[in-house]
């Protein structure tokens, strides 16, 4: 968070961050203020703990919410301008096996974003009893079609279908979800063009919210192949000091209390509580669970929002995941155009 016009006399701070919402008052200790101010301007603030302000400070600051929806809308608008410059119109194919209401809802979000950016969208909806071979044959057909630039298979798949085999059947050049072993391997090396959408979206959220990664202590709660593992690699490649916790980790709070950034993707509503993080930490909540008719994240938003920079659920990571899918489709299209032109010449 960018802090400006700090006054030692009044204890007031003003912030100008377009992605943070309306102003409210916070109460934070001088020890926390020292730590944050030192990060922002370590040539100016050298007072010791309790020397100047041995009491609790109250100051003005914006509500510390990372508005993923606003950031995503800006990216989609800019992406449309770039897509209009291409010599061909990008086309994204989505395969759905079955009629899961949740999957259909996610696909509708993707279709809306495709419409906004000018990407052609095609849904292939198959019956729930579709065989693994039938699904593979459709993927191979799409792989060979030069007019289709991006392909995703909506997960989860029915139990009788091997998810890993299906993902590996996708042409890595059209793998806009970034799930194939080739793209994951390139992510490991730091050379990937098509990066898993949720991890990529989180990295963009941190960048657009001016959250420093290099040299920071970062705790990743969750080790899934879709979020935890690829995101940990991205954070390490960006210079972060990353600790990964999972369901077998003893006393997760011991790790999160010392973290500058906590990213939670455990599928456990309200897992990260106020006493598990220090004031001023950044919380990225990837959780998405429907409970009693309400969508809940993995962090206790109401308790954490007054003192931490945090993503809401919904409206935080979700919109960015869909937006990064559109960006990956653009990247895949551009790459295939270049490859085709190079091959012709």
- Point out the residues that are catalytic: 110, 154, 177
Q: How far apart are CA 318 and CA 312, in angstroms?
A: 10
CA distances from 100 to 128, 260, 289, 316, 340 (A): 9, 38, 16, 23, 37
Q: Express the helix, strand and coil content of the chain in percent, nearest 5 each.
A: 40, 20, 40
Q: Which residue has the tokens 């879709």?
A: 226
Alpha helical stretches, state H, the chain = 30-40, 68-83, 101-117, 132-144, 163-169, 181-189, 197-208, 228-237, 253-256, 301-304, 317-344
Q: How far apart are CA 139 and CA 97, in angstroms?
A: 12
Q: Is the peptide bond before 2 cis (omega within 30 degrees of 0)?
A: no
Nearest to 259 by CA among 230, 239, 279: 279
Angle at 37 between CA 31 and CA 40, to 5 degrees: 150
Q: Residue 248 in 3-state DSSP?
A: coil
Angle at 239 between CA 263 and CA 71, to 5 degrees: 50
């Amino acid at each position: 968070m960018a802090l400006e016009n700090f006054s030692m006399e009044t204890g007031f701070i003003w912030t100008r961050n377009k992605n943070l919402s309306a102003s409210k008052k916070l109460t934070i200790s001088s020890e926390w203020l020292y730590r944050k101010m030192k990060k922002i301007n370590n040539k100016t603030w050298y007072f010791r703990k309790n020397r100047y302000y041995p009491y609790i400070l109250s100051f003005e600051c914006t509500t510390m919410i990372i508005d993923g929806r606003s950031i995503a809308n800006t990216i989609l608008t800019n992406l449309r301008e770039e897509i209009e410059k291409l010599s061909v119109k990008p086309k994204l194919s989505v395969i759905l096996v079955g009629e899961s209401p949740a999957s259909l809802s996610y696909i509708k979000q993707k279709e809306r974003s495709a419409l906004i950016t000018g990407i052609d969208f095609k849904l292939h909806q198959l019956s729930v009893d579709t065989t693994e071979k039938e699904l593979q044959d459709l993927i191979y057909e799409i792989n060979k079609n030069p007019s289709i630039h991006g392909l995703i298979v909506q997960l989860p798949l029915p139990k009788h279908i091997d998810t890993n085999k299906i993902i590996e059947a996708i042409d890595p050049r059209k793998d806009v979800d970034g799930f194939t072993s080739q793209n994951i391997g390139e992510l490991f090396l730091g050379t990937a063009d098509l990066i898993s959408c949720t991890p990529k979206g989180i990295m963009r959220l941190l960048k657009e919210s001016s959250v420093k990664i290099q040299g920071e202590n970062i705790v990743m709660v969750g080790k899934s192949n879709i979020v935890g593992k690829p995101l940990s690699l991205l954070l390490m490649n960006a210079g972060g000091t990353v600790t990964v916790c999972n369901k077998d980790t003893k006393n997760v709070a011991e790790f999160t209390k010392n973290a500058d950034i906590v990213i939670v993707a455990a599928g456990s509503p309200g897992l990260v509580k106020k006493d598990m993080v220090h004031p001023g930490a950044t919380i990225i909540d990837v959780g998405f669970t429907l409970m009693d008719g309400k969508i809940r994240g993995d962090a206790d938003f109401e308790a954490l929002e007054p003192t931490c920079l945090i993503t809401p659920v919904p409206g935080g990571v979700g919109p960015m995941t869909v937006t990064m899918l559109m960006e990956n489709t653009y990247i895949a299209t551009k790459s295939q155009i270049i490859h085709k032109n190079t091959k012709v010449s």
